[in-house]
Chain A
Amino acid sequence: MAAVTPLLLLLLLSSAPSFSSESRNAYNINGRVKIPQGLGTKGYALPGRMSNVKVLLNGGQNITFLRPDGYFSFHNIPAGTHLIEVSAIGYFFSPVRVDVSARNPGKVQAALTENRKGLSELVLEPLREEQYYEIREPFSIMSLLKSPMGLMVGFMLAVAFLMPKLVENMDPEEMRRAQEEMRSQGVPSLSSLLPGGAMN
């Protein structure tokens, strides 16, 4: 199904066969990598960052680099279907399927392989930025409470303060009865449990 890509309209650039006779069916693929600076803002990444971007053809068979304006080109590529990948730290690029046609010299068709979107010109933009690190959550009471120790403390507090409240709401008569029952059973109080409590 993927072979039928109706969206492949296109294309751009690319030159006629290069001159020499042996390489009659060698073509150039030209394109451009655009890296937006920040999401939704205009302007392009700093040159320092651009210098570490690589463009790879067919899994590393050819490797080229970007010019300061983001353009790149592959020379002497035979007609056929090729795969272009962009390697840039911090960005996720979809590989691009590029058809170099022998029948129509100079025609290049391109489509992103990740979402099968056709490209009207060979301008590659990252699908998304990649964040390699977890982001430290700023300090918040909630995160402290959610930690196991926070839960432990929370539970203890609940027992210490809510339970007496519950007891208070009970019928005073019933309560007295329960207390008497407890006393008669000799349920130890906290103080008697602790060393020193016994001295009382």
Chain B
Amino acid sequence: MAIRSFFLFILFFSSSLSPVFSLYEDQVGLMDWHQQYIGKVKQAVFSSQRAGRKRVVVSTEENVIASLDLRHGEIFWRHLLGADDVIDGIDIGLGKYVITLSSGGSILRSWNLPDGQMVWESSLQGPKHSKSFLLVPTNLKFDKDNVLVVFSNGRLHAISCIDGEVLWKKDFEAESFEVQQVIQPPGSDLIYVVGFAASYQFEMYQINAKNGELLKHESASFSSGFSGEVSLVSTETVVALDSTGSILQTISFQDGKISSQQTPISNLVEDSLGPAVIIPSSVSGIFAIKTDAVTVFIRVIGEGKLEVVEKTTHEIAVSDALSISEDQQAFALIQHASSEIHLTVKLAHDWDGNLLKESVKMDWQRGLVHKVFINNYIRTDRSYGFRVLIVMEDHSLLLLQQGEIVWSREDGLASIIDVTTSELPVERNGVSVAKVEHNLFEWLKGHMLKLKGTLMLASPEDMAAIQSMRLKSSEKSKMTRDHNGFRKLLIVLTRAGKLFALHTGDGRIVWSHLLRSLHKSEACQSPIGLNLYQWQVPHHHAMDENPSVLVVSRCGPSSDTPGVLSFVDTYTGKELSSLSLDHAVVQVIPLPYTDSTEQRLHLLINADKHAHLYPKTSEALSIFKREFLNIYWYSVEDQNGIIKGHALKCKCTGEVADEFCFDTRDLWSVVFPSESEKIVATVTRKLNEVVHTQAKVVADQDVMYKYISRNLLFVATVAPKGSGEIGSVTPEESWLVAYLIDTVTGRILHRVTHHGSQGPVHAVFSENWVVYHYFNLRAHRYEMSVIEIYDQSRADNKDVWKLVLGKHNLTSPISLFSRPEVITKSQSYFFTHSLKAIAVTSTAKGITSKQLLLGTIGDQVLALDKRFLDPRRTVNPTQAEKEEGIIPLTDSLPIIPQSYVTHALRVEGLRGIITVPAKLESTTLVFAHGVDLFFTQLAPSRTYDSLTEDFSYALLLITIVALVAAIFVTWRLSERKELQEKWR
């Protein structure tokens, strides 16, 4: 017995303290993939360096600045700035520094262009909030130092390009002055600051760029007022629209004198339609205005005279001006025409002459062109060539050169909203792609190489061969279902309204589809994708159907705008159908019922608390009617601090008879006192989670029953004062309360207060436990707590005699109206890092032990065994508890570097972690997304049910051969010996 327990102890000890997830460096990329993105490009600046690799520096809506290789579109370097540190402008100074202005113009940074190292950072303050501008004049020198001109927060700064020192500053404190443009005419030492005051006065300040001295200040009032932006048509002329949007004001401030001309738009365009807006452009002499349907290009000729040069109803995008020589400016114009886009490059002063005209075939799945950036190069014959960088509606970035797409980046994947998975098609006999290894010799050779690798006998070339062989393994990227369930499609919905299917094997895009229903239309002004649901997952019946997903979106930012549903086939990416709803979608509840074609029933709750059933078929309705009384759900109103439970009442009583619409009733509500508690997090169990067993055997042969209910909700509230950032409250006035609430009865099963703690709270709920992460102000460290909930009402059933004599309560009806006898156990531990996301591994049958996946502030994902968060840990576990695998209690959770599932990579801008069970019980698939994507397979208890990738078949073969040889040798020996015996 002692020996047995000793062995068990050794076993547990060894398995508990060594990280379960661990990887050798040469295994990187075998089961995982990592993709880097930057997001939708806002601004691009081309590096004009003559030598070296051509680069383009971009800033994006994901708040990334990146330097890209202009040849291939790869990322040289990239930095993701903080969420509150939005980039306002970027430029390149002195040809070697990237200058960024961010945080509403209050932080100016300079980065080294070749390697992305930050060179300096300055903080710019000012008297009031304003628009911000960053100018990098090429010829403005100050003691041999190039000067940057920054206007931000109502103050004009001149800043040294080399060290970020402020050379001079000038405040514009006039109360109502709103800056519109800051102009530095090339070749002069003047800076013009123009803007509006009190919305009808035009103000112009002329400033000496050498010292910030105010040279002139002129103003003029315009009774009709201004609206929108101004467009600069020359260094001393701007065009603005009046407040009605129908009259163009051409204002010139030559030599400090303001003069203006008014031109009604109707004089220029006969069939003027409605108010217009000015499209900002920097092309001199030309500006564009846009009304609902028409875009008009207007040229300014001489003294405020305007002339229409082109009118078009096509979608159009214009680049900024590019100086190609002393007095020539070129710009690019892109127009859509069915499946092509037409690129024209024109000179600013010559509208009719085209420098370049090209047509490029464009996949309509990329949508419209949103932005154009132009760059030139000198061809071998000394003429100018042009390349343009275009940003499409789906956020992708493409480089066009000589009528071709040189490269493209799918940067829409940097902003994923929701993820779901889909199975791949089953391998059918006819279409089998299964390719047996080329031949036995190749196979053996491969395994011999691997053996050499494991024995560390391989030369570097051999190692390279092994690595490429493993990475190329075609097995993992096949387009059919595999036995272990490792190959799946990840269906992701991006902010651009595009749906992508990624293959889990290698991360490639299988198909992508720009949802038509998420396209701007008359009825739907600004559609927003919300969620993805598995609509149809055929497995038993309807095997011939393709699986499909439901995309729920709505027409505007507020929750009472009508919803849109679309159904997309996950094998082909075709949009099967889409529905524009006449009601809003506040909540979507996938019901646990499917119809005969395996379509899942979904209940959509609208703003008036009516429930709508989808799909709208009579079969679905009959299934639904059967379960009518068993459907409960809850809603959280976090502004008011109320959680409500709902059930169905009857058919809708509206004027229009709608069979699929139901009235609802409120069952219960939990109201949190608004002066002391504010809801910061609510978490439930994942709907598809599988629990293997309800019983948990504890050390002394005792059994505890987990309280497993799908209707448990974890709610965390904090003191309203403590809902701000860390450091804004004292420990005395901050607390955090955790609740476990039954969502059918509204009963609070457990409540615990953590004094001196505050959010943000990240929590995950699985089986009968919840783990949450928060900040402890007293210790000034992060903490993680675990609550486990056990069912006591069945504790008596452990007695075998009672079972035999029939005195058990297994058959007594379980009702949620009787108070459940539950006990909870909890424990807290310190944890080093801030978290961005938290998830738990999930496996097919729920047998494998669980690991928590923690997305840390450093954008890494750490796997932490659930055993570290076990409320039964004690400082000195007994022998029996040690046998059970209980780890001695420590005050903080260990961080073992080998258990970072992202190993040495970062998932920049991490937002979410999704786990999907594979068919193989030991394995779970993990997908982490943010600006980057990362996918890997995890085996929380090691792969106990299959051979690992690096299993050496060659070693096995050699052993078998050696054994057989040994048998024959010993046989011979034995025979000979026997013969000798007989002779004796």
B336: CB under 8 A from chain A? no
**Contact residues, A1-16 vs B (CB, 8 A):** 1-3
Question: B391-399, B542-550, B898-906, B916-924: which lies at the A interface?
Answer: B898-906
Contact partners of A92 in chain B: CB under 8 A: 895, 897
Distance (whole angstroms) from the CB of B450 to the closest CB of chain A: 13
Contact partners of A80 in chain B: CB under 8 A: 727-728
Given contacts A89-B906, A133-B23, A139-B456, contact A113 B898 (CB under 8 A): no
A59 touches which of B107, B456, B760, B967 (Cβ 8 Å): B760
CA distance in complex: A81, B729 (Å): 9
CA distance in complex: A131, B23 (Å): 11
**Contact residues, B888-947 vs A (CB, 8 A):** 892, 895, 897-898, 900, 903-904, 906
A60 touches which of B82, B112, B775 (Cβ 8 Å): B82
**Contact residues, B943-977 vs A (CB, 8 A):** 955-956, 959, 962, 967, 970-971, 974-975
Contact B125 A19 (CB under 8 A): yes
Contact A68 B121 (CB under 8 A): no
Contact partners of A133 in chain B: CB under 8 A: 22-25, 28, 898, 903-904
B971 touches which of A97, A113, A149, A197 (Cβ 8 Å): A197
Contact A191 B81 (CB under 8 A): no
1/0 contact string of B118-135 vs chain A (CB within 8 Å): 111101011100000000
B780: CB under 8 A from chain A? yes
Contact B82 A67 (CB under 8 A): no
Contact A51 B118 (CB under 8 A): yes
Distance (whole angstroms) from the CB of B866 to the closest CB of chain A: 22
Contact A139 B455 (CB under 8 A): yes
A134 touches which of B24, B79, B109 (Cβ 8 Å): B24
Contact partners of B799 in chain A: CB under 8 A: none
B311: CB under 8 A from chain A? no
Contact B834 A51 (CB under 8 A): no
Distance (whole angstroms) from the CB of A163 to the closest CB of chain B: 13
Contact partners of A94 in chain B: CB under 8 A: 832
Contact A76 B780 (CB under 8 A): no
B858: CB under 8 A from chain A? yes
Given contacts A51-B117, A89-B904, contact A58 B978 (CB under 8 A): no
Q: Which residue of B lies closest to A88 (CB)?
A: B858
Given contacts A131-B898, A139-B455, contact A95 B781 (CB under 8 A): yes
A104: CB under 8 A from chain B? no
Contact partners of B898 in chain A: CB under 8 A: 131-134
1/0 contact string of A108-136 vs chain B (CB within 8 Å): 00000110000000000000001111111
Contact partners of A28 in chain B: CB under 8 A: 123
B970 touches which of A58, A138, A190 (Cβ 8 Å): A190
B502: CB under 8 A from chain A? no
A169: CB under 8 A from chain B? no
Contact partners of A67 in chain B: CB under 8 A: 118-121
**Contact residues, A132-187 vs B (CB, 8 A):** 132-139, 144, 149, 153, 160
A37: CB under 8 A from chain B? no
Contact partners of B833 in chain A: CB under 8 A: 85, 95
Contact partners of A75 in chain B: CB under 8 A: 106-107, 123
Given contacts A18-B125, A92-B895, A134-B23, contact A58 B780 (CB under 8 A): no
Contact B781 A113 (CB under 8 A): yes
A39: CB under 8 A from chain B? no
Distance (whole angstroms) from the CB of A155 to the closest CB of chain B: 13
1/0 contact string of B435-460 vs chain A (CB within 8 Å): 00000000000000000000111000
Contact partners of B125 in chain A: CB under 8 A: 18-20, 23, 76
Contact partners of B807 in chain A: CB under 8 A: none
Contact partners of A64 in chain B: CB under 8 A: 121
Distance (whole angstroms) from the CB of A90 to the closest CB of chain B: 7
Contact partners of B970 in chain A: CB under 8 A: 160, 190
Interface footprint category on B? 35 or more
**Contact residues, A72-94 vs B (CB, 8 A):** 73, 75-76, 78, 80-83, 85, 87-90, 92, 94
B726: CB under 8 A from chain A? yes
Distance (whole angstroms) from the CB of B936 to the closest CB of chain A: 13
CA distance in complex: A85, B775 (Å): 14
Contact partners of A194 in chain B: CB under 8 A: 967, 971
CA distance in complex: A82, B725 (Å): 9
Given contacts A3-B778, A85-B857, contact A189 B727 (CB under 8 A): no
CA distance in complex: A137, B971 (Å): 38
CA distance in complex: A66, B115 (Å): 13
CA distance in complex: A105, B775 (Å): 26
B877: CB under 8 A from chain A? no
Given contacts A58-B727, A113-B780, A190-B971, contact A51 B119 (CB under 8 A): no
A35: CB under 8 A from chain B? no
B83 touches which of A58, A60, A160 (Cβ 8 Å): A60
Contact partners of A68 in chain B: CB under 8 A: 117-119
Q: Which residue of B lies closest to A127 (CB)?
A: B832
Given contacts A138-B456, A190-B974, contact A56 B834 (CB under 8 A): yes
Distance (whole angstroms) from the CB of B272 to the closest CB of chain A: 45
Contact A87 B857 (CB under 8 A): yes
B779: CB under 8 A from chain A? yes
Contact A61 B82 (CB under 8 A): yes
1/0 contact string of B73-96 vs chain A (CB within 8 Å): 000010111111100000000000
Q: Which residue of B lies closest to A23 (CB)?
A: B125
B870: CB under 8 A from chain A? no
CA distance in complex: A87, B22 (Å): 21
Contact partners of A114 in chain B: CB under 8 A: 832, 892
Distance (whole angstroms) from the CB of B155 to the closest CB of chain A: 10
Contact partners of A138 in chain B: CB under 8 A: 456
1/0 contact string of B48-92 vs chain A (CB within 8 Å): 000000000000000000000000000001011111110000000
CA distance in complex: A100, B738 (Å): 31
Contact B24 A191 (CB under 8 A): no
Contact B895 A191 (CB under 8 A): no
B731: CB under 8 A from chain A? yes
Contact partners of B779 in chain A: CB under 8 A: 1-3, 113
Contact partners of B112 in chain A: CB under 8 A: 51
Contact partners of B777 in chain A: CB under 8 A: 81
Q: Which residue of A lies closest to B979 (CB)?
A: A200
1/0 contact string of A12-40 vs chain B (CB within 8 Å): 00000011100100001000000000000
Contact partners of A135 in chain B: CB under 8 A: 24
CA distance in complex: A73, B121 (Å): 8
B116: CB under 8 A from chain A? yes
A48: CB under 8 A from chain B? yes
1/0 contact string of B567-592 vs chain A (CB within 8 Å): 00000000000000000000000000
Q: Which residue of A lies closest to B858 (CB)?
A: A87
A58 touches which of B126, B725, B892 (Cβ 8 Å): B725
Given contacts A132-B900, A132-B903, contact A189 B121 (CB under 8 A): no
Contact B897 A132 (CB under 8 A): yes
B859: CB under 8 A from chain A? yes
Distance (whole angstroms) from the CB of B64 to the closest CB of chain A: 12
Distance (whole angstroms) from the CB of A103 to the closest CB of chain B: 15
Contact B975 A87 (CB under 8 A): no
CA distance in complex: A144, B77 (Å): 44
Given contacts A85-B834, A149-B959, contact A47 B117 (CB under 8 A): yes
A-B contact pairs, 30 of them (CB 8 A): A18-B125, A19-B125, A20-B125, A20-B126, A28-B123, A50-B117, A51-B112, A51-B116, A54-B858, A58-B726, A59-B725, A59-B857, A61-B84, A65-B121, A67-B118, A67-B120, A75-B107, A75-B123, A76-B106, A81-B726, A81-B777, A87-B859, A92-B897, A133-B23, A134-B22, A136-B26, A139-B455, A190-B970, A191-B975, A197-B971
**Chain B contacts to A: CB under 8 angstroms:** 22-26, 28, 77, 79-85, 106-107, 109, 112, 115-121, 123, 125-127, 455-457, 725-728, 731, 760, 775, 777-781, 832-834, 836, 857-860, 892, 895, 897-898, 900, 903-904, 906, 955-956, 959, 962, 967, 970-971, 974-975, 978
- For the A-B complex with A92-B897, A134-B22 known, give 13 more contacts whose Cβ atoms are closer than 8 Å: A23-B125, A60-B82, A65-B79, A65-B109, A80-B727, A81-B777, A85-B857, A89-B904, A136-B26, A137-B456, A139-B455, A190-B974, A191-B975
